[in-house]
Structure 1
Amino acid sequence: MRMFMATMLATTFAATLTAGALVSGSAAIAQQKPAPEGASVYFVSPEEGATVSSPVRVVFGLTGMGIAPAGVEKAATGHHHLIIDVDPESLDLSGALPADENVVHFGGGQTETEIDLAPGEHTLYLLLGDENHIPFDPPILSEPLTITVE
């Protein structure tokens, strides 16, 4: 309970500071950054069309850029977001990505994960975001990966 209260207080304090800065005009609104030429994300594993069991081990790949945690501004870096069973075109890719069961953030700079998926067919995408969870322009988006979970 103490941890929950401390988190709530810290979140409220940060939101209050941010709101005050935005009202006073002293904070810049985050915008999309240009994608470095040739940058791409891809799945190392599983392979396209694989039949797997849950939890599913997913390994992310990246070329033309580096990985940095969310909140760390460093040129030509970003962090992964795993999109599960959602068409990326249905998301607002001009702003910060939502965090929910279909858009999983890896803001710690992780390059692999294990995810629990229900039996059936699933389509996954990787999308690289900047330090503010905002996709690059144009989006650095993987090809879809379709897998079947037994």
Structure 2
Amino acid sequence: MRSNALVAGLAAGLVSLIAVTATAAERRPAPKDAYAYIGWPNDGEVVTGRFKVWLGLRNFGVAPSGVDRPNTGHHHLIIDRDLPPLDEPIPNDRNHIHLGGGQTETFLELPPGRHTIQLLMGDFDHVPHDPPVTSKRITITVR
């Protein structure tokens, strides 16, 4: 009886370890001096309708999703949300816009009002780097 309980306990522990490992993604390294920035719009900008957003990087490169090269990644625009968990793939929804083709500019159309925008680089598999390569969060007003 004791050996069955021991085996069951070890099996449960192993299943728990596998579950934790499966949910935590491996983060690729990034240079400590790498950063992303939003070139336009500027913080505090008032925009109308559909507007262009252009993005930049320092000490880091751009590669499309699926391409695994050191010190590269692709842009993700985080709109009206805090940064997602940094040890998981970045969500893909209306608040987390993936620019997986390696784009450095895009167009957005947001409802009227105040909005926040922030960049977060993701690796070939959409996981943030370590340390994360981000921009400052900016606030814009859509009229």
Q: TM-score, normalised by structure 1?
A: 0.77
Any idea what the Cα deviations from partners look like across 1:39-65, whole Å, max 9, x if unmatched?
A: 000010011100001212100010101
Question: Unaligned stretches of 5+ in structure 1?
Answer: 1-28
Q: How does 1:8-27 map to 2 (within 5 A)?
A: none
Q: Percent identity?
A: 48
Q: Corresponding residue for 1:106? A: 99
Q: Corresponding residue for 1:73? A: 68
Deviation of the 1:36 alpha carbon: 1.2
CA distance in 2, matches of 1:56, 1:31: 35
Write the letter of the residue equivalent to 1:142: S
Deviation of the 1:31 alpha carbon: 0.6
CA distance in 1, matches of 2:29, 2:89: 15
Q: How does 1:55-66 map to 2 (within 5 A)?
A: 55-66=50-61
Aligned pairs, number: 121
CA distance in 2, matches of 1:81, 1:137: 16
Q: Corresponding residue for 1:43? A: 38
CA distance in 1, matches of 2:41, 2:140: 8
The reply on whether 1:85 has 2:95 as its aligned counterpart is no
Deviation of the 1:37 alpha carbon: 2.4
CA distance in 2, matches of 1:50, 1:116: 15
SS, match of residue 88 in structure 2: coil
CA distance in 2, matches of 1:95, 1:66: 21
CA distance in 2, matches of 1:56, 1:34: 33
CA distance in 2, matches of 1:92, 1:38: 21
Write the letter of the residue equivalent to 1:66: G
The reply on whether 1:116 has 2:109 as its aligned counterpart is yes
SS, match of residue 43 in structure 1: strand
Deviation of the 1:138 alpha carbon: 1.7
Write the letter of the residue equivalent to 1:38: D
Write the letter of the residue equivalent to 1:135: P
CA distance in 1, matches of 2:48, 2:106: 14
SS, match of residue 141 in structure 1: coil
Q: Corresponding residue for 1:15? A: none
Deviation of the 1:93 alpha carbon: 1.3
Higher radius of gyration, 1 or 2: 2
